[in-house]
Amino acid sequence: MSENAENSGAAAPVLEAAGIRKSFASPDGSSIEILKGASLRVNEGESVALRGESGAGKTTFMNILSGFENPTSGEVRWAGKRIDGLSNSAQARLRAGFMGFVFQQYCLLPELTALENVELSSRILGRFDRRAKSKAKELLERVGLKDRINYMPYKLSGGEKQRVAIARAVMNSPKVLLADEPTGNLDEDTAKNVMEMMLGLCRENKAALMLITHNIDFAKMTDKEVFLSQGEITEIR
């Protein structure tokens, strides 16, 4: 963040992408450019919905924001620190405590209970102790799964699995929660409940939310809505 922004009291950006370009090689050897200078700024505690047609590059952009893919050119910053030039291991160390993730497919480990899946975030960060175990239980209670903490994933409904995934995502009190179509596999009522729960937990934890969604109504629930088209991002509201 610049000195002028700091002195003016402007909201601090927690996640920034500037001039992101991303190209892939096609089978015939030519280059296909998916992102053509996409830029985005997410402030601390802000919720942002990213919409766009299928195949527009939303997931690619999310992967670049999270450091899972490198841009062809452009810059990515986490809390003001440029990360696109860091090694994979350096990015992974920063990411573990900085970001939480919620995916459409839940991504729970089938051999772990709901509680153990939530605890896993703390274990990966190397901070698992009695307080972490207590927090994991509290989070599952917060998302309405007090009676399901020892259930294996196969015994949970789709909505319950996603609530476990949300609890796991906020376990380490991340600065940013990235959610890629988190309600895509859920019925309408369950999806709305999950969306409200995710926004509520982000507010409680003062975490920014970066949401990919096709659902216009869910996008309107966020603070800001942007659209990815022809490789560039425009702000809708």
Average pLDDT over residues 28-45: 93
Cα separation, 236 vs 227, whole angstroms: 7
Which tens digits make up the pLDDT trace of 43-83? 999 999 999 998 999 999 999 999 999 999 999 999 999 99
Which tens digits make up the pLDDT trace of 150-176? 999 999 999 999 999 999 999 999 999
Q: What global pTM score does this model have? A: 0.87
pLDDT recorded at residue 9: 52
Cα separation, 120 vs 196, whole angstroms: 24
Cα separation, 214 vs 51, whole angstroms: 6
Residue 234: exposed, middle, or buried by beta-carbon count in 10 A (0-12, 13-18, 19+)?
A: exposed
Walk me through the domains of the chain, giving residue ranges and CATH numbers: 46-70+85-235 (3.40.50.300)
Cα separation, 187 vs 193, whole angstroms: 10
